[in-house]
Amino acid sequence: MQITLNGESTEVPENTTISQLLDRLQFTHDRVAVELNLEVAPRESYNAVELCEGDKVEVVHFIGGGAV
């Protein structure tokens, strides 16, 4: 299915959770912030929230006190 990830169209498998997406991107879960369809996703929901066709996901990865 197609989602928009950080402004770019990206293909992900059906039923992909936020957690699985972060694993696929090789991001450490406690060092990122995730916005799903213009709302910040609580870290404790990453395993439960499945992405849907057309979702817009923004991932900010924190490195050494700054953001990338």
- pTM listed for this prediction: 0.88
Cα dihedral 20, 17, 60, 62 sign: negative
| CB neighbourhood size of 20 (10 A) | 16
The C-alpha atoms of residue 62 and residue 52 are separated, in whole angstroms, by 25
Mean pLDDT of 6-31: 95
Q: Which CATH superfamily is domain 2-67 in?
A: Beta-grasp domain (3.10.20.30)
The C-alpha atoms of residue 32 and residue 54 are separated, in whole angstroms, by 22
The C-alpha atoms of residue 66 and residue 11 are separated, in whole angstroms, by 28
Calculate the average pLDDT of the chain.
92
Q: How is the chain split into domains, by residue range? A: 2-67
